[in-house]
A and B are shown apart, each in its own frame.
Chain A
Amino acid sequence: MSSAARYLDPNLIQRLNKLSLTARRIVEGTAGGLHRSQLKGASVEFRQHRSYVAGDEPRRIDWRVLARTDRHYIREFQEETNLRAAILMDRSGSLSYGSRLGSKYEYGARATAALAYLMLAQAESVGLAMFGNGIEQWLKPQSYRIQLSRIIELLENGRPAGYSDPAAAMHGLADRLERRSLVILVSDLFAPIPRIREGLARLRYERHEVIVMQVLDPDEIQFPFRGFFRFNGLEGERSSLIDAVLLRNSYLRNFKRHQEQLKVACRTLGVEFAQLTTDLPLDSALVWFLTRRLQRG
């Protein structure tokens, strides 16, 4: 199976083509697209006049106004730009867990590829940052078709390992993004909530639109283990041999608290939050997610 076929199911692509990803806010872009940019430049849709100041391009002076009023005015136009998106993909050790339907990393990678395909199909720029304990690989947003191949290659080469620090990754991404972008964070977010909040706050401070897609395995939600298990941490934590039945209540309590705090953090920071479980068909999850974004956009 080719890399593209591994991450982009043809049936999924067919369904995704019917939808478009619409940013809820106007983002800055270089390619003219559906996304309204707040940058004013050369375009076809007039916005306003303003007085000429030194440094303005002489070709943007409205000569008709000059002829009538003997004053120098510059013509400004509303410019339509391409969407600039950066996908922040977690490749820490915890993403390697998978109970029945493959690992969370594979699921997240397929989601990332699907999103990239969708956005590139609309001539929008897509970038990818692979992170663990910070940004480890970085693919700048571009709108070329070949960008999809680069993204898939990067996803394929990425092997989940090590521990994750989403905050460090978000700080790193914020430093790298030159313009306002749509940031899509794909991770299980098994990290302390204050750190996650800190990273999200940084991105929001930079006025990026942020979507958090949390990828979980059903086992992590239900903790269905019975009997003695030795739990070996995937991010270097110490292992623990214990009767899982006796641990279940406290595990579920901790997990529930973490999820609630995560949702609160996203809501208060204006971040879109979606939880994906690996037992859900990916297309269903993405279609639900994109439909929801269209309704809100």
Chain B
Amino acid sequence: MFLNVTMLAGLAGALLPLLLHLLNRARYRNVRWGAMLFLYGSDGSRSRISKVKEYFLLVIRMAMVTALAVAMARPVVGPAGVSQDSPACTMILVDHSASMELSESGPTRLQAAIKAALNVISNLKRGDEAALIQMPDTGNSPHPITTDLQSIATRIEGIQTVSGRADINAALISAATELRRSRAPIKHIVVITDQQASNWRPAGLDTKAWQSMAADSNGRMPGLTVIPIGGEQTSNVSVESVRIVNTPVVRDIAADVEVNVRNYDTIPVANLRLAILEDNRELYATVTNLDSAELKAVHCPIVFASSGPKTITARIVKSGIASDDFANAAIEVIDPIGILVVSGDDSPPSEFQPQNSADFIRLALAPFSASERRGADLANVQVVGMDAWPTLNRDRWHIVILANIPQLTSDQVRQLEQFAYGGGGLIISPGNLTRVDDFNSLLWRDATGLSPAEMETPVAGDGSQSTWLLGLDLSHPVFHYLNAREEPVPRIAVARYFPTGAIQTNSHVLGRFASGSPFLIEQTYGRGKVLLFTLPLNANWSALPMSGFFLSTMQSIARYMCSTIYPDRNLWPGEPINAMIDNAIGLQGTIAGSGSPVFSAPINLIRVGDGYEARFSNPLPPGRYQVSVRTAGGQRDIPFQVRTLRDESDLKNLTAEQWITNQKSMGFERIDSDSQSIAARMAAVRRRRELWLWLLGVVLLLAVIEMALSRVWSKSFEEALE
């Protein structure tokens, strides 16, 4: 199509060179010539070549005039049968990620984006279609394609920043899918985003596949326009995460809160104030320094005076994006861990001379109470004999330790199995009283019982097979605390131990003696865990209970065994919410979010063992959530925190080269956000592509060729003779 059809009359000018040629031929002069020999050459071919040259130049001259006339007629290319008044469908993709809250000079990036989006709307015509896609997708995007442009404008005005990355690739795919539903002949995708490099991940988008998806049935691609918003600010410090290192958090015992802080800038940050808060009450504060691009873990010891579910916040002073200046963590502060020690020994405990396994366990897990001194203990340890076997209640006891038990009844084994299956922790430590045959028949049961391994008779007690601790699996959470030590494995002499026979397939050996025989074996049983020591936890067979390693390891084991009862409530986006509740009433609870908009949904409970499990699998956006369930003890509220990903925190912009690469691979037009540029672009998309500039280039090229050939073919006499 041509925008200035009348100029096509200039095509007649293409005949001008031909007419001039014919005129010149008609006005030829006659020469009676003697040297005809040199005109024809030896075979007359020279004359023919000259004619070819003559006609070639003529064609070039005619083509020049033709191209000039066509250029002046302003040709455009675009879909056939489409006029400027044809309806258009425009997909408006607006970035409302966290980086859009930045304000560099006056309005925020989001406000500028909204203004640009409204400008796009204002350039649409009556009958045009449009749809809004927000990046990141907040769950209600895209809005359906509509001709009600006012409703789109209203939605645009209501956009607010959210956490999460603006995934332009996903939005483009969504836009291409939506555009296929439209029958409008003109299709256009407008992407309004800041220049943040993390928004663009071309590697994640199969450009060809997207283009084939976006193209209509005639293979025409929609117009693709990118309106970059915002400036060059890239400095930002974020709180990447906050977590408790030594879970569970026990009342009155210092919790190790680890806060990861990252400086995204190339300039170091000094005296950055970091505070830990609970319900806006500051629990702890410190200052730290960060090198350029440094990720630093800051450890904050915090003591909680009361138990119960809590949410703590790690916050720094405002830096760059405000939404990443803090991070929340949901924690459960518990009373001291309830531990029941069932001891087979009958020797009375001594105040200063621990005699049996139970004594050493008490000293390790509740040193203050064991020594009758004041202080906060990690665990509340109760020691009972075999004759006082209690009902195993997980509300009271989190862990049961069988210390040198000679023999169990079938009922006791069944109770232990239920206890472990429901999430309780079981620690088995055989001793000199243990009958190996009974142990294997009741606890090993041919690899179906509670014991992770089959026991064999202990090695000789004459010291001939004494050994020592050699290998520990330092990657296991139980031994994480040893990682920072120069010699993590202490040399502890062991005079006797129980060698093991077969080991259950789902077991894991956490430590071995120098003889190669396992020292500590773990097995998951139902929701709970079972740990088997292959020696008694007293000083008769080894020096283990006398070492500092014993105390630290027992406390670490106690915390680890509770992890099934108090799982981490800080989830990654997409992870299901999973809460264990004993004594629930009814099979339904609720889950509610604290963000905006308010989220609330019912949650079903399923019975697991002798307890209940509340599970919510639908992916939830980052934020705070609370599962509420009615129990025999009243309503129980369990907080959860879905972590916010920090992929928006890196404010580095696309480089000029990256812009060019993206433009080449995706074929978009990049324009400024001012109203004139948007209006011009919107008009150009309707107008389709003008070719006059290309044609002028062709004219110039032909002119150069014509001049060059004319010059070469009519060189001066002197040049020819040289």
A interface residues, Cβ below 8 angstroms from B: 93-97, 104, 188, 190-192, 217, 220, 222-223, 225, 227-235, 237, 240-243, 245-256, 258
Contact = CB atoms under 8 A, between A and B. Distances in A.
A226 to B, nearest CB: 9
Given A235-B34, A249-B713, 15 more contacts: A94-B35, A96-B32, A228-B25, A230-B28, A230-B29, A230-B30, A231-B33, A234-B34, A246-B53, A246-B714, A247-B39, A247-B46, A248-B720, A251-B38, A252-B720
12 contacts: A94-B35, A188-B34, A228-B25, A231-B31, A240-B47, A242-B50, A246-B53, A246-B57, A246-B714, A250-B50, A252-B717, A254-B46
B465 to A, nearest CB: 109
B270 interface: no
Nearest to A224: B717
A243 B35 CA distance: 16
Nearest to A255: B38
Interface in B461-519: none
A194 to B, nearest CB: 12
Contacts of B46: 247, 250-251, 254
A229 B721 contact: no
Contact of A246 (B30, B32, B50, B721): B50
Nearest to B58: A243
Interface residues of B, number: 31
Interface string B46-79: 1101110110010000000000000000000000
B28 to A, nearest CB: 4
Interface of B: 24-25, 27-41, 46-47, 49-51, 53-54, 57, 713-715, 717, 720-721
Contacts of B30: 229-230, 232
B38 to A, nearest CB: 4
Contact of A242 (B34, B37, B51, B713): B51
Contacts of B54: 242-243, 246
A135 B57 CA distance: 47
A254 B40 CA distance: 9
A228 B47 CA distance: 13
B36 A237 contact: yes
A240 B49 CA distance: 13
Given A225-B31, A231-B31, A249 B25 contact: no
A257 B714 CA distance: 19
B165 to A, nearest CB: 68
Contacts of A253: 720
A233 B30 CA distance: 11
Specify which of B31, B33, B713, B714 lies most central, judged by the most chain A CB atoms within 10 Å of its CB: B33
Specify which of B25, B30, B35, B717 lies most central, judged by the most chain A CB atoms within 10 Å of its CB: B35
Contact of A235 (B25, B36, B713): B36
B460 to A, nearest CB: 115
Contacts of B36: 231, 233-235, 237
A259 to B, nearest CB: 10
B336 to A, nearest CB: 108
Contacts of B53: 246
A250 B45 CA distance: 10
Contacts of A258: 37-38
A240 B41 CA distance: 13
B33 A256 contact: no
A248 B39 CA distance: 9
A96 B713 contact: no
Contacts of B713: 245-246, 249
What are the 3 closest A-B residue pairs judged by CB atoms, nearest first? A94-B34, A228-B28, A254-B38
A232 B35 CA distance: 10
B34 A93 contact: yes
A204 B713 CA distance: 42
Nearest to A99: B31
A241 B717 contact: no
A220 B35 contact: yes
A258 B35 CA distance: 11
A232 B34 contact: no
Nearest to B35: A220
Nearest to A228: B28
Contact of B37 (A190, A232, A245, A252): A190
Given A94-B35, A97-B33, A227 B28 contact: yes
Contacts of A97: 32-35
A249 B37 contact: no
A232 to B, nearest CB: 5
A247 B47 contact: yes
A223 B33 contact: no
B552 to A, nearest CB: 101
B401 to A, nearest CB: 110
B32 A256 contact: no
Contacts of B715: 249
Given A190-B37, A235-B36, A252-B721, A242 B47 contact: yes
Contacts of B720: 248-249, 252-253, 256
B31 to A, nearest CB: 5
B607 to A, nearest CB: 101
Contacts of B34: 93-97, 104, 188, 190, 217, 220, 233-235
A190 B40 CA distance: 13
Contacts of B32: 96-97, 232, 234
Contact of B39 (A93, A104, A231): A231
Contacts of A192: 37
A7 to B, nearest CB: 21
A96 B31 CA distance: 12
